[in-house]
Chain A
């Protein structure tokens, strides 16, 4: 463990001596594409729907370009050695998300349902807020290790965030779906999105301190290292919290996300495969246990197994205590109808999904209008973000940074998997949103903060160490060694 850290340090300092390229110009070139592609997509939607280039094209292009430019300049100034891919990839997804949200705003059907078609300007505002927070993170978080100081405050903060939706009067009481929203001053906020980051900070700080105890004080049994009873404590607590989330907020996705993130970080901290085995067993037991008595979760599982039946129940207006939704079947039809190349932006009918077409189900619009080809590209962009995050963890020189980076990237990957898998019918559907693509302020703001933290860690990791002071003993030392 400590040896690998040393070797990394040694390795990087050697490169540092000859000057590491900052890659900021690469980032700028990629950012140009990340802004131009959504602008073309926007023009495409306007031409397809109204036969004209949309009047807001220039301001949209300038707005997105300005936001990306500010982001870039701040990175150039405050995190010059940061990863060059993360900012362009996030900008690209955010830009395309805006285009598709605007495209769904144009749907007469959705306008009829929501009585308004103004999601896109709001999302642009959220994006600006998100990039604002991204800038704040980069300017004020000079070193990610500062976060380590807030380990236990983070724990409390995360618990509060997670419990907020259950507070009477604050939690948005939605009869459908999961209770993961709160409403404050007319805005719906999903505290879980922020809790994700805060929890990652807590786990990283906690595990960095406890990892030796967790890894070493264990007995070997059937090829697995069994942890001591008292070391089992933390994982049991997190497991219990996840189960509680599942029971009270009826949200399988958030529950799975937090528990999965914890297991990933625990595994990285201890290098013990046994934690993964325990984690899988416990999450399976928890999910099955809760599903056996929670009707909302059962409905989700049934909808996953037989979406057509749910569609028919929903169409027939069956009232049996649970809400039947045709959304999943509609989403599957949207994907299938897109085929290989898609219908073209603005020419699909994914508005048939109706409710949440631009948030939880936004991926279906991408699937239908950009086709298999476009959706694979989108998924690969997500894959790239995750792998750059993990790369940052590999390059990080301190265990806290490593844990935080791998935790955030792992959570991001799990979220993408849980949401996309749910919408595509691979796993039961949960109430989370695709990072950056989906409509929703909490999601877009929290994910920009996440990218900001990853950039900060990668900057620290790639920044050349100050060149070592000339050591007059160096040559002598070598001579002495046999």
Chain B
């Protein structure tokens, strides 16, 4: 009888072994994915167990934490609060006890919660000394005055977004979207009603949409600066002041449709400077058609089109299509047809031009700080590409400065020795262009010493304005002007 008993002993050993293997699988191999699973309540418990680190703008936090009453059913100790929530929402996102965390709150959650590996050494030390875990801070590149100017400017006009960049570094100075929402209103455990009220299906104005990063608009005439850059870079025209080969009226190749200008403009064989000043569709449409889809696509992609940007929050990819026929390329080259850009993308375009052709990678996290405000990580400016040469960039700058001096963008003039270059845009959209057009303005400011502190892109969709009033110069340029002024004033 002993032989089978020994075998049973082995069998029982195997049962225990199977359990040991399984527990290793669960608690070692799969531990991290189980621990950080989205629905694992512990993620939230840890996130709100201690005051969350802050998101800092210009030295003062725009976020905070407040202790809540914990009881049997509420196991989350702290709740997120926000200062000027609606204004900063496109930057901070929300950290909600129920709905998770988005934008900087989501991307930098590890630092803010204090669980990031960069804090590992510190956390271990704290554990040994018995100090409670604390979250680190996220110091942003944003400029509070510029953000305020952007948000206030948008407030009067229905919907829209503003992005301002520092051309020489890529720092994001303003990132506003309107209408917005207060992330504090959905931060707690019992804010379901507020959350429902913010959803698009209950609120057609979709306040939680981050229009600066996550919405693409047809860029309209502002895209003409990209077309102009392509013309200069490909040697089609070597200067701003040579007459272009532009018949009027101009019928798009392969069609019987003549391309229309907005009004009776002097576009026949106009120079690029003149064509940009009065915004000739025919001149830039023909440049695009002559260069062809591939060259236009190459230039657009150098500016960042067709690629998601991470700043570090994700921005949607802007679109410039490939495999288009000649007439579609012509329309795309004046910012219509399939062409669509996020406000961030257009800010990148103007920032590259202002920075003598170098496109810097846009970013909004300057540095990450430990709870004791030591710097854990400092973001270094990074060159993304060079869409145009320094010489061509200066030619384009002089063209854009003409636009503001005597063209469609006079509303953005700053005076006081500050030169402004810009471009308006009024983009048609909707079926048969029935929707209210989007008013665009992109611009940069240049100081007397030649440095450029700010480049800005503004888009406004004003449902209440008369159709005739909607123009980039009228609606968007004043907002861009105030944002640039705020940046320049805050430097002095």
- Which residues of A come within 8 Å of B, CB atoms? 1, 4-5, 8, 108-109, 111-112, 264, 267-269, 271, 308, 311, 329, 332-333, 335-340, 349, 352, 367, 371-372, 375-376, 379-380, 382-383, 386-387, 390-391, 393-394, 399, 402, 406, 409-410, 413-414, 416-417, 420-421, 424-426
Asked, given contacts A380-B16, A425-B26, whether A112 binds B2 with beta carbons under 8 Å apart, the answer is no
CB–CB B23/A383 < 8 A: no
Give Cα A416 to B112, complex, Å: 42
B30: A residues at CB distance < 8 A: 336
Q: 14 new A-B pairs (CB below 8 Å) besides A375-B23, A406-B5?
A: A1-B1, A8-B2, A108-B72, A268-B1, A268-B5, A338-B31, A367-B23, A376-B20, A380-B16, A382-B16, A394-B5, A394-B6, A413-B12, A425-B26
Tell me if B215 is interfacial: C-beta within 8 Å of chain A.
no
* A336-B35, A367-B26, A372-B24 as given contacts; A413 in contact with B16, CB under 8 Å: yes
Residues from chain A with Cβ under 8 Å of B33 in the complex: 336
Stretch at the interface among B37-45, B458-466, B472-480: B37-45
**Residues 441-476 of chain B: 1 if any A CB is under 8 Å from the residue's CB, otherwise 0?**
000000000000000000000000000000000000
Task: Tell whether B58 is near chain A: CB-to-CB under 8 Å.
Answer: no
Q: Which of B9, B15, B23, B41 contacts A417 (CB 8 A)?
A: B15
Q: Determine if B322 is an interface residue (Cβ-Cβ < 8 Å).
A: no
Q: Name 21 A/B residue pairs within 8 A (Cβ), A-sorted.
A: A268-B5, A268-B8, A333-B42, A335-B27, A336-B31, A336-B35, A337-B34, A352-B42, A372-B24, A379-B23, A383-B13, A390-B12, A393-B5, A402-B5, A409-B12, A416-B16, A417-B15, A424-B23, A424-B26, A425-B22, A426-B18
Shortest beta-carbon contacts, A-B, top 6: A336-B34, A112-B72, A372-B27, A383-B16, A413-B12, A417-B15
Residue of A nearest to B12 (CB): A413
Asked if B15 contacts A413 (CB within 8 A), the reply is yes
Instruction: Give the complex CA separation of A264 and B75 in angstroms.
Output: 48
Query: Using Cβ atoms and an 8 Å threshold, which residues of chain B touch A108?
Result: 71-72
Number of A-B contacts (CB under 8 A): 145
- For A329, the chain B residues whose CB sits under 8 A away are 39
Query: Are A339 and B35 in touch, CB under 8 angstroms?
Result: yes
How far apart are the CA atoms of A482 and B5 in the complex, in Å?
Answer: 36
Q: Tell me whether A349 and B41 are in contact (CB under 8 A).
A: yes
Let me know if A337 and B35 touch, CB within 8 A: yes
A352-B41 contact given A109-B72, A109-B73, CB 8 Å threshold: yes
A336 touches which of B6, B13, B26 (Cβ 8 Å): B26
Tell whether A337 pairs with B13 under 8 Å between CB atoms, given A367-B23, A394-B5, A402-B5.
Answer: no
Rounded to whole angstroms, the CA-CA distance of A367 and B30 in the bound complex is 13
Contact flag A387-B13 (CB < 8 Å), given A1-B1, A417-B18: yes
Residues of B contacting A376 with CB < 8 Å?
20, 23-24
Binding site for A on B (CB under 8 A): 1-9, 11-13, 15-16, 18-20, 22-24, 26-28, 30-35, 37, 39-42, 45, 71-73, 75
**Residue numbers in A under 8 Å from B4 (CB-CB):** 267-268, 271
**Is B8 a contact partner of A264 (Cβ separation < 8 A)?**
yes
Cα separation A391 to B6 with both chains bound (whole Å): 9
A448 to B2, CA, bound (A): 26
Query: Contact partner of A335 among B8, B23, B45, B75, CB < 8 A?
Result: B23
Q: Please pick, from B7, B27, B75, the residue contacting A367 in the complex, using a CB distance under 8 A.
A: B27
Structural contact, A402 and B1, CB atoms closer than 8 A: yes
Nearest chain B CB to A245 CB, angstrom units: 21
Given A335-B34, A336-B34, A421-B18: A375 and B27 within 8 A (CB)?
yes
Q: Say how far B192's CB is from chain A's closest CB, in angstroms.
A: 14
Cα–Cα distance between A399 and B5 once the two chains are bound (Å): 11
Partner of A372 from the list B9, B23, B32 (CB cut-off 8 Å) is: B23
Residue among B5, B23, B33 with most chain A CB within 10 A: B5
Contact check, A426 vs B5: say whether CB atoms are below 8 A apart. Answer: no
Q: Which residues of B contact A416 (CB under 8 A)?
A: 15-16, 19
CB–CB A337/B42 < 8 A: yes
Question: A159 to B357, alpha carbons, bound, how many Å?
Answer: 89
Tell me, in angstroms, the Cα distance from A267 to B1 when the chains sit together.
Answer: 9
Q: Which of chain B's residues have a CB closer than 8 A to the CB of A420?
A: 19
Please name all residues of chain A whose beta carbon is closer than 8 Å to the beta carbon of B20 when the two chains form the complex.
376, 379-380
Tell me how far the C-beta of A74 lies from the nearest C-beta in chain B, rounded to whole angstroms.
27
By a CB distance below 8 angstroms, the chain B residues around A340 are 27-28, 31
Other-chain contact of A111, B35, B41, B72 (Cβ < 8 Å): B72
Find chain B residues with CB under 8 A from A336 CB: 26-27, 30-35, 37, 40
Minimal beta-carbon separation of A69 from chain B (angstroms): 30
Shortest CB-to-CB span from A169 to chain B, Å, is 35
